[in-house]
A and B are shown apart, each in its own frame.
Chain A
Amino acid sequence: MSRIRRLNEIPREELFTSGHSLCAGCGIPPMVKMALKAIDGDKVVVNATCCLEVATTLYPHTSWLVPWVHNAFENAAATASGIESAMKVLLRKRDGKKYKIIVFGGDGGTFDIGLQSLSGALERGHNFLYVCYDNEAYMNTGIQRSGGTPLGAATTTSPAGRVIPGKPENKKNLMDIVIAHRVPYAATINPAYPTDMWNKFAKASEFLDKNEGPIFFHYYSPCPVGWRMDTSLSIEAARLAVQTRLWPVYEVDHGKIVINIRVNKPKPIEEYLKIQGRFRHLLKPENKEVVERLKRYIESNWNRLLKLAELGSIY
């Protein structure tokens, strides 16, 4: 698919239908709809166990109009590797068909449980696109903390109270782990910047055509239920995450880091925290230290990214 400048250039035809049971205001479908449209040609979707899987394939219904395969939490990338290898053998031995493989996994299935199979698949260099949609906890099983949960967020296994002020640890930097595999293309995407998201998927589609995989996308997926906020604020939260520099939107194209959304005047992080119930306790005076820690983390992360972008190429 070609790059776009305006949203009316996006084709009408949907490959992901209505009637799924994802919560009202869920941030996942805007990305899935766009991925299936922007990645042209035949495709196979591999789905790790996650919100998206359990809510779109309630037996005997399915919301998918593309071939789709179920997986356990830990082996989505391994299944994708197998499908890709089988496709290559069929292409060589008889009249096979070339198609593109897209994996969708949640943050629990990517940051924690499926990390080793993802690492293996990235290292072996299979030609596929892995999209981790990050709603920052195990939402589908009841909002337990994951490696993707940010510092200070209250979850059911890191409840804010007298003992701890929400999750005491910082978020794992998954993009750095992926970049360490020297993948051809990796990027972060955000629903508040749909044209940027589309163009990255279109670029990924071109790379898949040229067998230049693996490709990794890290998607910021707002979750009104788990983040304890109003359903209408999903995209607003995503936008604030970028504008407070908490979620830098950047890409790594063959080692060259480009920051796609330059945030010159960041908004105070409190604006992002105050709309979400999971961070409400951080605004109390006794938790000021946690907010300061979060601010230091954001600043160091952003400055490090700026320096890496100046380097030109990091591998």
Chain B
Amino acid sequence: MSSWPVKWEELPIGGVVDKPGNSLEVKTGSWRALKPVIDLDKCIKCLLCWVYCPDNAIIRRDDDYVEVDYEYCKGCGICAHECPTKAIDMVEEGGE
């Protein structure tokens, strides 16, 4: 899964990274202490959370409603703070 080379001979010449966007292998969701939970009944499809999310962790569905990608969400809470209808709650990780 990891693209870290095992031997130095396997490194590309010049140390270039030849797999664009491979940071997707780094699951930054483990950084999170609070997780956002979206109440879609309150969502008005303004997409502010989608624009502001620093980690592309808000998935914009085909119908423009949004979902959270917990693999990458770092739990910063910008989405919950900026949501105009307060449709996003930050709840403690591991709770429920």
B56 part of interface (Cβ distance < 8 Å): yes
Q: What residue in chain A is nearest B28 (Cβ atoms)?
A: A19
**Which single residue of chain A is at the shortest CB-CB distance from B62?**
A12
Judge whether A65 and B20 touch: CB under 8 Å: yes
A165 to B64, CA, bound (A): 48
List chain A residues, Cβ under 8 A from B69.
Answer: 18
Interface size on B, residues (CB 8 A): 43
What is the number of contacts between chain A and chain B, taking CB atoms within 8 Å? 121
Q: Shortest beta-carbon distance, B72 to chain A, in Å?
A: 4
Q: Is the CB of B47 within 8 A of A7?
A: yes
The CA of A235 and the CA of B21, in the complex, are separated in Å by 26
Is B38 close to A, CB under 8 A? no
Contact B31 A232, beta carbon cutoff 8 Å: no
Given contacts A12-B60, A21-B28, A61-B17, contact A236 B81 (CB under 8 A): yes
- In the docked arrangement, what's the CA distance between A12 and B60, Å? 8
Residues of chain B contacted by A24 (CB below 8 angstroms): 31-32, 54, 74-76
Q: What is the predominant secondary structure among interface residues of chain A facing chain B?
A: loop
In Å, the complex CA distance between A224 and B71 comes to 22
Q: Would you call B78 and A25 a contact (CB within 8 A)?
A: yes
Q: Any chain B CB within 8 A of the CB of A78?
A: no
Among candidates B22, B24, B51, B77, residue contacting A230 with C-beta atoms closer than 8 Å: B77
A7, B77: Cβ atoms under 8 Å?
no
Determine whether B94 belongs to the interface, using a CB cutoff of 8 Å to chain A.
no
Do A60 and B4 have beta carbons less than 8 Å apart? yes
Q: For residues 22 through 78 of chain A, which have their beta carbon under 8 Å from a beta carbon of chain B?
A: 22-30, 33-34, 56-66
Q: B78 and A60: CB pair below 8 A?
A: no
Q: Does B56 contact A56, Cβ atoms closer than 8 Å?
A: no
Instruction: Given A62-B20, A63-B21, A232-B77, check contact A18 B47 (CB 8 Å).
Output: no
- Min C-beta distance of B38 to chain A, whole Å: 15
Provide the main secondary structure of the chain B interface: loop
| CA A191 to CA B52, docked complex, whole Å | 8
CA distance A18 to B24 in the complex (A): 6
Q: For the complex, what is the distance from the CA of A26 to the CA of B55, rounded to whole Å?
A: 9
Count contacts on A: residues with CB < 8 A to the other chain.
43
* Cβ 8 A contact of B54, one of A7, A17, A22, A62: A22
Query: Does the CB pair B77–A19 fall under 8 Å?
Result: no
Contact B26 A19, beta carbon cutoff 8 Å: yes
Q: Can you pick out 15 interface pairs between chain A and chain B where the beta carbons lie within 8 Å of each other?
A: A7-B46, A7-B48, A8-B45, A14-B56, A18-B69, A19-B27, A21-B26, A21-B28, A25-B54, A25-B77, A26-B54, A60-B17, A234-B76, A235-B81, A236-B82
| Residues of B bordering A, CB below 8 Å | 3-5, 15, 17, 19-28, 31-32, 45-48, 50-57, 60, 64, 69, 71-72, 74-78, 80-82, 90
Q: Which 6 A-B pairs have the closest CB atoms?
A: A232-B77, A25-B76, A19-B23, A24-B74, A18-B72, A24-B76
Write the residues of chain A forming the contact surface with B, with a CB cutoff of 8 angstroms.
7-8, 10, 12, 14, 16-30, 33-34, 56-66, 191, 194, 224, 230-236
